[in-house]
Chains A and B, each alone.
Chain A
Amino acid sequence: MSKIYSDNMLAEVRKGEEKWSKELDNILDQHPERLSRFSSVSDHPVNRIYTPDDVKDLDYEKDLGFPAQYPFTRGVQPSMYRGRLWTMRMFAGLGSARDTNKRFHLLVNEGQTGLSTAFDMPTLMGYDSDSPRARGECGKCGVAIDSLKDMEILFDGLPIDRITTSMTINPPAPIIWAMYIAMAEKRGINRSIIGGTIQNDMLKEFIAQKTFMCPPRPSMRLITDTVEFATKEIPRWNPISISGYHIREAGSTAVQELAFTLSDGITYVEAAMERGLDVDSFAPRLSFFFNSHLDFFEEIAKYRAARRMWARIMKERFKAKDPRSMWLRFHTQTAGCSLTAQQPYNNVVRTAIEALAAVLGGTQSLHTNSLDEVLAIPTEEAATIALRTQQIIAEESGVANTIDPLGGSFYIERLTRDMEEEAFEYIRKIDDMGGMVAAIERNYPQLEIADAAYKYQKQIDSKEKTVVGVNKYVTEEDLPVEVLQIEAELEENQIKWTNKVKDTRDNKKLKEALEKLGEATQRDDNLMYLIIDAVKEYATEQEICDVFREAFGIYRDPGVY
């Protein structure tokens, strides 16, 4: 036990606070505060001041410790950014594989240290560009990938043996990953040395982001296959990026983001352990992905609470022994939902504040949104400003020079504790329902988020919460920024190209590969090996997804609001 504050000191503080409050009351009659109630973006009440009395039980050793020491509140790496800065990883994807390849080269040349791929809607949902469901959507909000051929073009000339690649893909994640592995092997790069992340977090899809293919339970099987495969074959890969980002974008509070994300993580750990994997064999490769919204201190406390909670969950609930299993390593993206179409240059400022919170919260990698991202896919100029924002924080502001600089702040420590308690309460509630899969099946997290989103919207409409340029400081304006448009011929060209791939492959071998995969779905086999065989025969993404839809059924949106 190493309590920070003595009882004597706390008594003095309480006395002092009482005196100060009394004096303040006298002037508040004449000079009232700006608001009758102060609260965070998530509507968490905020006190006038925080003192040692608010964190009187804080135990340095038990609650904070040192970086890279349990419970990791202050960070997972021993020297944090003094050793190596976070990875600056900008999400990019547009049009064809060739277009996106060009953008990747630009970002790498500008100093970016990791790649991150955005796919178009048909690819995200497991449809090829020539599907009737893909009409009008090809290449619109990301890159269209139909087959291994597209994957080869996408990474052409990029040093994938040295650079790590993140791919935001969910229902078809095993297939897109298989294409990446096959592409690397065709280039003579051994699968054991490639590194990167697939998002592959279906639970938060059902909860928030909503790209669907099969129902929750078979989805868990596919995900567990990838975890097992990564553990055995691709040790440098993060097979799941357990994501709160989209939960927050869908309108959750910070605590809901924290609670639902960690609850999803618990579910993946349980599934892998049920598969027979030792917790310490796979848990070190689980990674996380959080949002950074505008409420500066709330976000910083959220990251600190997340690290401490995950460490406690892994140690106490799952009996992990390897400290790396207890590390919560995370990527952060600034909040797309905080950007405004009105006065879009203000978005640069919002993003800078959010990025700063992520860095003060100890993120391992960061995407900063571009000022025009609320309107369309970013232009090159806007994407460069967003990257420069990170570089200014990293190399000019000085905030990366010391570790967890806000640790010990009465407010931050109190908020960290409050968020941990409230999030654990949610997790207990979900456990009582039978876990996250059962909770999703009864639409529990979906409706909790819908409630929070509706409440927030009403607070904006009533001007209880300010959004500059939207409900305050409004100006008459036309769209002032240049917006990137995807040309209409793209869809036509991509369909032609994919049809050509289908015509020139060995369709007999392909059929055999797909049949073998279909049969294996009915057994307990790990499907990753057969998916890789199929993509090497140039099976398209949809052809493989259709095998899964046939075997496992299709999930449809319950449409609750």
Chain B
Amino acid sequence: MNQKRKIRVLVAKPGLDGHDRGSRIIARAYRDAGFEVVYSGLHQTPEEVVQAAIQEDVDMIGLSSLAGAHMYLFPRVLELLKENGADDIVVCGGGIFPGEDIPKLKEAGIKEIFVPGTPLGEVVKWVEENVKPRT
């Protein structure tokens, strides 16, 4: 039988923000959903995030930001993925974002934004529906 490859996800904390309650909960939820999870730990530069994503051959990056630097950090990650020919990796974001920033982030190429209060099941379902293991 054809063994289906599991979805590989990098949960990443770019920037200096130390709020990792959400990212660590999400990492656990992904793991419990059967995904292969790589957690970057805190205080990663966008370069470090992209390098880890490529090295770990992930299908998706979940970026977390709660300290207001998302308008610099998220587009920077997308830019570096493109430069490295890895822009087929799906990127989504979670955390705290002023409402008007959300359409701007999506326009820049962030596939989905999850805000506080989103149930874990909804986030997992979104990944299952929108991320396919890359071949």
Contact = CB atoms under 8 A, between A and B. Distances in A.
B86 interface: no
A463 to B, nearest CB: 9
Q: Which of A340, A450, A556 has the most CB of B within 10 A?
A: A450
Interface stretch (B1-9, B54-62, B103-111, B115-123): B115-123
Interface in A194-253: 209-212, 249-251
Contacts of A374: 96, 116
Nearest to B67: A141
Given A454-B25, A561-B39, A121 B17 contact: yes
A29 interface: no
A249 B19 CA distance: 9
A348 interface: no
Which bracket fits the contact residues of A? 35 or more
Contacts of B41: 556-559
A2 B107 CA distance: 71
A210 B120 contact: no
Contact of B116 (A124, A134, A209, A340): A340
B117 A133 contact: no
A125 interface: yes
Contacts of A375: 96, 98
Given A461-B121, A559-B41, A121 B15 contact: yes
A140 interface: yes
A457 interface: yes
Nearest to A485: B98
Interface in A333-381: 337, 340-342, 374-376
Interface in B86-131: 96, 98-99, 115-117, 119-121
Contacts of B43: 125, 133, 212, 556-557
B73 A136 contact: yes
Contacts of A469: 117
B24 A557 contact: no
A342 B115 CA distance: 10
Contacts of B80: none
B27 interface: yes
B31 to A, nearest CB: 8
A458 interface: yes
A461 B73 CA distance: 29
A561 B62 CA distance: 15
A341 B71 contact: no
A480 to B, nearest CB: 10
A453 interface: yes
Contacts of A209: 18
A334 B27 CA distance: 27
A489 interface: no
Contact of A450 (B17, B28, B40, B67): B28
B16 A250 contact: no
Given A249-B21, A375-B96, A479-B98, A559 B117 contact: no
A486 interface: yes
Contacts of A122: 16
A58 B72 CA distance: 58
B25 A140 contact: no
B120 A141 contact: no
A250 B117 contact: no
Given A121-B15, A461-B120, A483-B98, A136 B69 contact: yes
A556 B40 CA distance: 11
Nearest to B68: A140
B114 to A, nearest CB: 12
Given A250-B21, A557-B41, A561-B27, A376 B120 contact: no
Interface string B62-91: 000001110111001000000000000000
A135 interface: yes
B39 A137 contact: no
Given A136-B69, A485-B98, A559-B41, A121 B16 contact: yes
A202 to B, nearest CB: 13
B106 to A, nearest CB: 16
A251 B15 contact: no
Nearest to A127: B16
Contact of A211 (B18, B28, B45, B120): B18
Interface in A429-486: 450, 453-454, 457-458, 460-461, 467, 469-471, 478-479, 483, 485-486
Contacts of B120: 457-458, 461
B96 A121 contact: no
Contacts of A453: 21, 24-25
B79 to A, nearest CB: 13
A486 B68 CA distance: 9
B39 A251 contact: no
Interface in A361-407: 374-376
A559 B18 contact: no
A132 B40 CA distance: 19
A209 B45 CA distance: 19
A341 B45 contact: no
Contact of A137 (B15, B40, B119): B15
Given A375-B98, A486-B68, A561-B24, A341 B16 contact: no
Nearest to B74: A136
Given A374-B96, A479-B99, A467 B117 contact: yes
B40 to A, nearest CB: 7
Given A133-B43, A212-B42, A341-B115, 13 more contacts: A121-B16, A133-B16, A141-B68, A211-B16, A250-B21, A251-B21, A374-B116, A376-B98, A453-B25, A454-B28, A458-B120, A461-B120, A561-B27
Interface of A: 121-122, 124-125, 127, 132-137, 140-141, 209-212, 249-251, 337, 340-342, 374-376, 450, 453-454, 457-458, 460-461, 467, 469-471, 478-479, 483, 485-486, 556-559, 561
Nearest 10 pairs between A and B by C-beta? A136-B72, A559-B41, A210-B18, A140-B68, A557-B41, A479-B99, A561-B24, A121-B16, A557-B42, A136-B69
Interface of B: 15-18, 20-21, 23-25, 27-29, 39-43, 45, 67-69, 71-73, 76, 96, 98-99, 115-117, 119-121
5 contacts: A141-B67, A141-B68, A249-B21, A457-B25, A557-B41
